[in-house]
Structure formats: structure tokens, C-alpha cells
Amino acid sequence: MLITHIEGNVYLNEQRVEPSSTPIHIYNESVVRTEDGRAEIRLAAGISLFLGEGAAVKRVPSSTSRVSGFEMLRGSAVVTTGEMGIVATCSNEVSLSDSGLYRFDVIHLPELPTSEKVCGFSVYEGAAAVKLATVVSVMTPGKFMSLNLRCGDLTPLQTFDPKRTDTLDDWSRQRIRLRRSQ
């Protein structure tokens, strides 16, 4: 994994990262977080992770593929996959298909124990498989799920309008277009 673009304040293992034309390596178990900034992280084979303001992600080794995965710790991130998918964790384990566009939004609720979180997960393009307690839920474009291990298999699948976007969605798509034009 490499940090390839920085805007504002971004930290790698609590050390501030300065913008650079040279990508910055992220090793296993390392944490990248943003304050009032954003970061683009490239994994492999066209997989990119776009962290919004106030986000944190941890690199984790993958047991199912050659590409390391990530765990969402807080905030929001947009993920785009290319030639291959990836496994991500945000409360539940999520397998992302190739050629997809996804979003994770971590929500800390005061009524939950401090180590728990609810993670909103949306599929804009591609497909995803969410590992629940005893089954796997397959998600397609326009589907949203609130992930939380306490829900077991009783996690409802909802719909959303993939055309409704916010500043993180718009910025990530702009970065994708810029990369494709180079």
C-alpha cells in the first residue's frame, strides 16, 4: 500500500506526512489517519482508497489474497477496485468485487460500548459479499447495509440513490478521472 496523494493534515502512525511526489509506503498494521485533510492510498491492481476528513484506516494482511486488506477505524472512505477485488473490514468482513466503487462510513454511537462501531457500507458499482454471523449477504449497486456484529444475520439490506453524492464522493471521482487521463 502506498500513500500517493495528500491534501491537508495526514498522519502515518501518528507522524505527520508531508505532500511528496514520491509515494509513501504503508506497512502491515500501520494506521493512516486524516484530520482536516484527505488522502489517496493505492493498494494494487487498480485498487484505491480515498480517505475523507477525520478518517482512519489500518493496513491488515489478507489471508485470502496476495493484496493486503484494510480495516476502517473511523470516518469515511471511498474504495475503487480494478482488476481484482479486496477484503475490507468495517465491523464485518466485506469482500469487494473487481471493477467496483464502494463507500464505508464509520459511525460511533454513544449507546454502544467504546470498542464497537456501526459501519455504513454502500455499493455504487460492482458487487460485494458481506460476511454476517452464519450467512453471506450479496450486495449489488444501489444497496446499503449498516454493519454491526451485534446484529448477527438480522442486518437489513436497504436501497439508496447512487447519484446522490457529497464532497468526498465528488473528490474521489475527480481523482479517479485525473488518474485515468494521465
Structural domain count of the chain: 1
Contact 87, 93 (CB under 8 A): yes
45 burial type by CB count under 10 A (0-12 exposed, 13-18 middle, 19+ buried)? middle
How many angstroms separate the CA atoms of 57 and 71, rounded?
6
Query: Can you give the pLDDT of all 182 residues of the chain as single tens digits?
Result: 899 999 999 999 999 999 888 999 999 999 999 999 999 999 877 899 999 999 999 998 866 555 668 999 999 999 999 888 888 988 889 999 999 999 999 987 777 666 677 899 999 999 999 999 899 999 999 999 999 877 778 888 999 999 999 999 999 999 999 988 87
Distance CA 119, CA 98 (A): 21
- The model carries a pTM of 0.92
Note the pLDDT of residue 112.
Answer: 64
Cβ burial, residue 162 (10 Å; 0-12/13-18/19+): middle
Query: What is the per-residue pLDDT for 148?
Result: 82
Q: What is the CATH number of the domain that holds 115?
A: 2.60.120.1440
pLDDT given for residue 118 in this prediction? 85
**What was the pLDDT predicted at 2?**
94
Enclosing domain of residue 66? 2-181
